[in-house]
């Protein structure tokens, strides 16, 4: 949950889905390096 809160503070889009036994949080960040956009990639941040 701390990751999602920090991502929102930095301006990222975050979506969450809560089920009876699981919670899924996803965020999208756009990273720029020297004026060019790097491709975004998906990864598992944390599993409980």
HEC letters along the chain: CHHHHHHHHCCCEEEEEECCCCEEEEEECCCEECCEECCCCCCCCCCC
What pLDDT shows up at residue 38?
A: 53
> What pTM was computed for the model?
0.41
pLDDT tens digits for 8-24? Answer: 677 777 778 888 888 88
């Amino acid at each position: 949950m701390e990751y999602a809160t920090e991502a929102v503070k930095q301006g990222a889009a975050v979506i969450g889905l809560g089920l009876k036994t699981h919670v899924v949080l996803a965020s999208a960040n756009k990273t720029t390096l020297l004026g060019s956009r790097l491709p975004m990639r998906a990864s598992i941040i944390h599993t409980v």
